[in-house]
Homo-oligomer: A and B are copies of this chain.
Amino acid sequence: MKNGIETRLYVDSSLNTGEMFCLKQKQVHYLKNVLRLGAGDEVALFNGYDGEWRARILTVARQSVDLCILEQTRQQSYEPDVWLAFAPIKRDRINFTVQKATELGVMLLSPVITRYTIVQRVNVNRMRANVIEASEQSNRLTVPKVSELDNLTNLIDSWPIDRTMIVANETASTPIVEIIRMELDCSVKKIGFLIGPEGGFDKLELAILNKLPFAKHASLGKRLLCADTAALAVLAIWQALLCSSFHRHD
């Protein structure tokens, strides 16, 4: 329990008062054997669109746990919409990136292969399990989506043109704070960050990225950051500037 937040579980089902709900296998193990909860204990449930609900454990069987959904405790509310496309890195680093990006509010995680990407595979199922766990732990009411691994060309081709792509680009001169402020100023709040591999983008990729009408190129400063540090930095910076812009308009 963190800061008194009760156990939170993501469920892929509608939530209504009085409904019974039967937990799936993995969550049964977690509840029974890890958290050691039993009949009478309460948990919080969320499904990504109905807010958060209080539920009571009715029965605990060998392979199932039945809950009764009691009442809504939080309404679904607006959550800012930011994507993160990133070149995959080693497994333990990916887990960490995925978890922290989820804490920082990402809505879509898009692993993307580029010319200098070293790691060529990701375990998308593991990433999806990690975002669920991170969403439960971080008190989110939504769970980020995780795309299948794809290459940069396809990422660009399928990128929605109403979403600004902010490319973390070592060759860019405009600091990221200014790029984000410009976006917030024109009320465009749909953005996505593209973080390349540690070798950067190659000349051809940069040429293509430079020509995209929906892309802006941002410098993260003089420091040499690991790709996973850069991924979290951009999300933290964006979060903080967004929060500050809301504060000023209250």
Contact = CB atoms under 8 A, between A and B. Distances in A.
A131 interface: no
Interface in A234-250: 234, 236-237, 239-241, 243-244, 247
A169 interface: no
A100 interface: yes
A114 interface: no
A175 interface: yes
A142 to B, nearest CB: 12
A5 B138 CA distance: 37
Given A96-B96, A233-B236, A239-B221, A3 B200 contact: yes
A28 interface: no
Contact of A104 (B225, B243, B244): B225
A229 interface: yes
B104 A240 contact: no
A224 B100 CA distance: 11
A71 interface: no
A198 B137 CA distance: 12
A2 interface: yes
Given A96-B96, A198-B3, A225 B175 contact: no
Nearest to A105: B223
Nearest to A242: B221
A36 to B, nearest CB: 19
A220 interface: yes
A198 B2 contact: yes
Contacts of A137: 224, 226
Nearest to A177: B244
15 contacts: A2-B224, A3-B200, A100-B229, A103-B223, A103-B224, A104-B229, A138-B223, A138-B224, A138-B225, A176-B240, A220-B240, A220-B243, A229-B232, A233-B236, A233-B239
